[in-house]
A = this chain, B = another copy of it.
Amino acid sequence: MTAPALAHTLRNPLPAAFVAALAAQFGARLSTAAAVCEQHGRDESPYPPMAPDAVVFAESTEDVVALVRLCAEHRVPLIPYGVGSSIEGHLLAVQGGVSVDLSRMNRVLAVNAEDLTVTVQAGVTRKQLNAEIKDTGLFFPIDPGADASLGGMAATRASGTNAVRYGTMRENVLALKVVTAEGQVIDTAGRSRKSSAGYDLTRVFVGSEGTLGVITEVTLRLYPQPEAISAATCSFPDVKAAVDTVIQTIQLGVPVARCELLDALTVRAVNLRDKLGLPEQPLLLFEFHGSAASVAEQAETVQAVAQEHGGADFKWTTKPEERTKLWEARHAAYFACLQLKPGCRSVTTDVCVPISRLAECIAQTIEDTNTSFLPAPILGHVGDGNFHCAILADPTKPEELEEAERLNRRIVERALALDGTCTGEHGVGLHKMDFLVQEHGADAVDLMARIKRAFDPLNILNPGKIVRAF
């Protein structure tokens, strides 16, 4: 992927007075070392890094307030940074400025077990949270794969494998503490489970990718750890049979906790790397949460549905070690796919469509990629209608990046034609700003731009991302 088109980019050196003020304010929490800046100007996207001019390691909401006020005074861009697991270029300092690293804000502030809520600083990661609350009998379900920070997950409206049961960050963030572009600290909501009190500021900031405010605390919903968990896998003659099984399962009201699809090429990739010996056909993987009786009943219901659709080799278990083994193909999939083409990076698509359109969407995508010179295995959160095509390209070869983008465009355009979205869970960042207009239309994106200008009139918060508002 080539560097993004940055027609309106103005990259000025930081004003000397600003740097002096930063140093006075933050001391050793400020770094302008090239290696540190470089590390904060890249993410998991194939974009070449674009480093900020400085990094501030915030240790409190007050640090963020002080930084935002300095940035506002000197009109310097500010980019919030969690763990760097974005894959859409969110973190690239396209207009220079300061990266505010929130990873030291990593305290779990309050566990309210009776209310099934927890409040954390933005730098707490999801795995850290689940480790810290393990003894409460509760857990936080959203699992995007990476051990992302919860602030970052809120900022990109992340989800992952078990959104089909538990929802996304949209449904699971109860409240946020946010530093506004003018350095005010607001709480978007209290801790009640529901509220009709005014415009939904929480949902305005969830998915705003650092462009409307800096999230410093997140209050989340928790869930009781399931009494029992069962896992199941099943191979299918084609994608349609697999997706039809999922549709019917959901229509029957089976509360599936996870439901993932690997296409035949992805299964081949894990076989090649890990010698799993799986049939090289589309593979569905399920997980069920509930009482012992309920997870058995769920697995049996799905087995019956799968058989009706030609599913074969159905396996299920409740034993932890066997569950892990059944899901091994899924856990290994991403890195196994990368090994299909040594030295490549993945240009990862993220479309999401109504589930009734998913089978045709995936089947046509496979037809496209079969005629491409790039391998493009597919992994899907099929219970949600969301899938990723990992288009494997050599980042040193412009013709490969161009072909990857051509495929990506075709996949997005197809998803939009099927009443879907260009991004189910990764966000817009730099990569999908044009798709956003295609998806929502100019008038809707104009409303988004109005929100951006209203909240950040100086355009200092992660400028140049999501919408062109200035």
Contact = CB atoms under 8 A, between A and B. Distances in A.
Interface in A405-462: 416, 419-428, 432, 435-436, 439-441, 443-445, 447-448, 450-455
B190 A168 contact: no
B192 A137 contact: no
B454 A450 contact: yes
B441 A186 contact: yes
A467 to B, nearest CB: 7
Given A192-B419, A198-B440, A227-B253, A117 B354 contact: yes
Given A191-B354, A251-B137, A197 B421 contact: yes
A355 B193 contact: yes
A84 interface: no
A223 interface: yes
B196 A423 contact: yes
A267 to B, nearest CB: 25
How many copies of the polypeptide does the oligomer hold? 2
A317 interface: no
Contacts of A112: 354, 356
A192 B386 contact: yes
A468 to B, nearest CB: 12
Size bin of chain A's contact surface: 35 or more
A88 to B, nearest CB: 9
A115 interface: yes
A188 B444 contact: yes
Contacts of A117: 354
Interface stretch (A69-77, A152-160, A303-311): A152-160
A374 interface: no
Contact of A200 (B189, B207, B426, B452): B207
Contacts of A21: none
A36 B435 CA distance: 46
A349 interface: no
Interface stretch (A256-264, A289-297, A321-329, A336-344): A289-297
A415 to B, nearest CB: 8
Nearest to A453: B454
Contact of A223 (B223, B253, B297): B253
A207 B353 CA distance: 26
A246 to B, nearest CB: 10
A442 to B, nearest CB: 9
B207 A196 contact: yes
B448 A192 contact: no
Interface in A20-51: none
Contacts of A297: 291, 293-294
A196 B253 contact: no
Contact of A203 (B114, B203, B420, B448): B203
A190 B158 contact: no
A186 B447 contact: yes
Given A189-B421, A199-B466, A251-B113, A352 B194 contact: yes
A410 to B, nearest CB: 18
Contact of A114 (B226, B251, B424): B251
A395 interface: no
Nearest to A252: B224
B167 A444 contact: no
A12 interface: no
A133 interface: no
A372 interface: no
A426 B196 CA distance: 6
Given A171-B167, A424-B195, A116 B454 contact: no
Interface string A222-257: 011011000000000000000000010011110100
Identify the 4 closest CB pairs spanning chains A and B, nearest first.
A203-B203, A114-B356, A224-B253, A450-B454
15 contacts: A158-B196, A167-B171, A180-B443, A180-B447, A186-B444, A188-B444, A189-B440, A196-B426, A196-B427, A197-B436, A198-B436, A198-B440, A198-B466, A227-B253, A454-B454
Interface of A: 112-117, 137, 156-159, 163, 167-168, 170-171, 180, 184-201, 203-204, 206-208, 212, 223-224, 226-227, 247, 250-253, 255, 290-291, 293-294, 297, 350, 352-356, 384-386, 416, 419-428, 432, 435-436, 439-441, 443-445, 447-448, 450-455, 466-467
Given A114-B355, A189-B440, A197-B440, 4 more contacts: A113-B251, A163-B194, A170-B203, A224-B253
